[in-house]
């Protein structure tokens, strides 16, 4: 029986970590450090809950189900729901939002400061050309990420963090938010790491099979080890960036989300900081986009039962990402928030519920919880999109913990209770279904 070697574990873990580490993993932790100030560590705890602990649980969920979110959500409610829910998440972290966010941030934050006369479309052509080169062969994606791109990224991030810890820019100021933990929790939605974990897991299972690891028990063990190591590394990097921004104090006050990481790097390394940051950002965005492109192709190839080829899907995703890149970074970030508000609470319910016990015993509770989370998530999404409907605003005021970003929690618990009662008889009938 084939087992994952120590070298394979390291390569795959590092590749997975850098697949998660894109521009959002620079700008959102920096923003969190800026607003939490002296309470930065509490903010890190909230941030880590979503961007590290929740993805670890997501990988455990994938390992348990031996499949991705499409299958898991489909088993809970209905296969068509699983396909729709999984596809929405894949499009969010793929060509509709993340591909263009990575490309536009590479141009606006890395290329323009050094080469202001380079047209955006040239940056996008080169960026997506590199992504195509690294992602077109699915059997080589993880090895290329883990052995070529990842070491460069890790070295540069480590140098930045070491410099910032040894020689802080300034000192933290008072927190500017009511709940540092809640702010960290909801800010981490933007990194989309939990969504990525539920989708990356399927691609990593496929790669394990390519490496000769075909036994479900060994696949589960390998996925758990890879996920734990990758998310531990990611949590350390995020926490370090939050600290770097918090330690900037008044020196970073008033800066926009895009200016923060650039300014931090420049203050730590002087004029060379612009070059260092540009290289860091390009590497981070490329590694993430390569991992996502491969996952996108693999996901929809499986969703179509092989009717649409991996290569055609990757090319199509890249073309869509290239076209949407012309919207601009700020607009893309703003457009993403409502969709994340919609899917994240339901995703949390699915992950925690799947790990809570056998599906044939928890399906009713999960169905009620997912539906309730989606309803409240839809209200939050409308509000985030700028639709200030009076009924929704009133509801937000009376829901417990809504001000901290957890307005969905109580309705979800009620949904779990109702779902348990309504589906009790059907659960008994399905006693022999299980996984």
CATH number at residue 123: 1.10.4160.10
Q: How far is CA 148 from CA 102, 151, 152, 225, 401, in A?
A: 19, 6, 7, 21, 45
Residues 6+ apart with CB under 8 A from 70: 82, 83, 85, 86, 87, 202, 299, 302, 303
Q: Is residue 347 part of a domain?
A: no
- What pLDDT is stored for residue 118 in this prediction? 92
- What pLDDT is stored for residue 150 in this prediction? 66
Same domain (yes/no): 325, 197: yes
Same domain (yes/no): 162, 223: yes
Q: State how far the Cα of 42 lies from the Cα of 246, in Å rounded to an integer.
A: 12
Same domain (yes/no): 10, 146: yes
Same domain (yes/no): 316, 391: no
Burial, 163: exposed, middle or buried (Cβ in 10 Å; 0-12, 13-18, 19+)? middle
Full pLDDT tens readout for the chain, 435 residues? 567 778 778 877 877 787 777 777 888 899 999 999 999 999 999 998 888 888 888 888 887 887 778 888 888 888 899 899 989 888 888 898 889 888 988 898 889 888 889 999 999 999 999 899 888 876 665 566 656 666 777 777 788 888 888 888 888 899 998 889 989 988 888 887 888 888 777 777 777 877 788 787 787 788 888 888 888 888 888 898 899 999 998 888 888 877 888 888 888 888 888 888 888 788 778 878 888 898 899 889 988 888 999 899 999 999 999 988 887 666 776 777 788 888 888 988 888 888 887 766 777 888 899 999 999 888 888 887 777 777 777 777 777 777 766 788 888 889 988 888 877 765 555 555 454
Q: State how far the Cα of 221 lies from the Cα of 3, in Å rounded to an integer.
A: 10
- What pLDDT is stored for residue 426 in this prediction? 58
Q: State how far the Cα of 416 lies from the Cα of 365, in Å rounded to an integer.
A: 4
Q: Is residue 186 part of a domain?
A: yes
Same domain (yes/no): 304, 367: no
The parent domain of residue 139 ranges over 6-334
- What pLDDT is stored for residue 425 in this prediction? 60
Same domain (yes/no): 78, 152: yes
Same domain (yes/no): 181, 97: yes
Same domain (yes/no): 257, 383: no
Same domain (yes/no): 271, 379: no
- In the block, which residue shows the tokens 């697949």? 19
Same domain (yes/no): 384, 318: no
Same domain (yes/no): 158, 236: yes
Residues 6+ apart with CB under 8 A from 10: 146, 229
Q: Is residue 49 part of a domain?
A: yes
DSSP H helices, 93-119, are 98-105
- What pLDDT is stored for residue 435 in this prediction? 46
Q: Is residue 343 part of a domain?
A: no
Q: Is residue 367 part of a domain?
A: yes
Q: Is residue 22 part of a domain?
A: yes
Q: How far is CA 269 from CA 167, 168, 266, 276, in A?
A: 11, 12, 5, 8
Closest CA to 333 of 164, 123, 109: 109
Give the total number of structural domains in the chain. 2
- What pLDDT is stored for residue 142 in this prediction? 59
Q: Is residue 340 part of a domain?
A: no
Neighbours of 309 (CB within 10 A): 13
Q: State how far the Cα of 221 lies from the Cα of 219, in Å rounded to an integer.
A: 5
Q: Is residue 137 part of a domain?
A: yes
Residues 6+ apart with CB under 8 A from 117: none
- What pLDDT is stored for residue 125 in this prediction? 94
Same domain (yes/no): 413, 363: yes
């Amino acid at each position: 029986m084939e087992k994952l070697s120590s070298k394979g574990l390291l390569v795959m873990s590092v590749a997975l970590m850098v697949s998660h580490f894109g521009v959002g993993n620079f700008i959102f932790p920096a923003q969190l450090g800026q607003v939490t100030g002296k309470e930065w560590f509490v903010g890190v705890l909230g941030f880590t809950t979503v961007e590290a602990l929740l993805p670890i649980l997501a990988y455990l969920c994938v390992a348990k189900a031996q499949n991705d979110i499409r299958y898991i959500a489909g088993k809970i409610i209905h296969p068509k729901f699983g396909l729709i829910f999984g596809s929405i998440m894949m499009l969010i972290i793929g060509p509709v939002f993340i591909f263009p966010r990575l490309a536009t941030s590479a141009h606006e934050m890395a290329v323009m400061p050094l080469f202001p006369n380079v047209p955006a479309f040239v940056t996008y052509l080169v960026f997506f050309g590199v992504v195509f080169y690294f992602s077109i062969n699915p059997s080589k994606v993880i090895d290329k990420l883990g052995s070529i791109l990842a070491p460069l990224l890790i070295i540069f991030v480590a140098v930045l963090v070491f410099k910032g810890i040894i020689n802080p820019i300034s000192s933290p100021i008072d927190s500017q938010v009511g709940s540092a933990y809640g702010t960290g929790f909801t800010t981490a939605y933007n990194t989309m790491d939990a969504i990525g974990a539920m989708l990356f897991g399927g691609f990593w299972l496929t790669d394990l099979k390519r490496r000769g690891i075909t036994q479900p028990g060994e696949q589960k063990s390998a996925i758990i080890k890879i996920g734990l190591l990758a998310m531990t590394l990611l949590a350390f990097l995020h926490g370090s960036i939050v600290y770097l921004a918090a330690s900037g104090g008044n020196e970073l006050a008033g800066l926009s989300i895009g200016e923060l990481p650039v300014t931090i790097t420049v203050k730590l390394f002087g004029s060379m900081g612009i070059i260092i940051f540009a290289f860091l950002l390009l590497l981070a965005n490329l590694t993430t986009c390569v991992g996502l492109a491969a996952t996108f192709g693999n996901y929809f190839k499986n969703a179509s039962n092989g009717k649409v080829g991996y290569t055609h899907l990757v090319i199509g995703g890249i073309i869509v990402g290239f076209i949407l890149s012309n919207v601009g970074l700020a607009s893309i970030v703003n457009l993403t928030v409502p969709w994340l508000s919609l899917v994240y609470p339901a995703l949390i319910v699915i992950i925690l519920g799947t790990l809570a016990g056998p599906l044939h015993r928890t399906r009713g509770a999960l169905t009620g919880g997912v539906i309730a989370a989606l309803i409240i998530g839809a209200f939050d999404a409308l509000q985030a999109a700028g639709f200030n409907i009076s009924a929704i605003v009133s509801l937000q005021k009376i829901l417990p913990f809504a001000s901290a970003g957890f307005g969905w929690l109580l309705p979800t618990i009620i949904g779990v209770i109702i779902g348990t009662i309504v589906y009790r008889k059907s659960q008994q009938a399905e006693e022999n279904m299980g996984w």
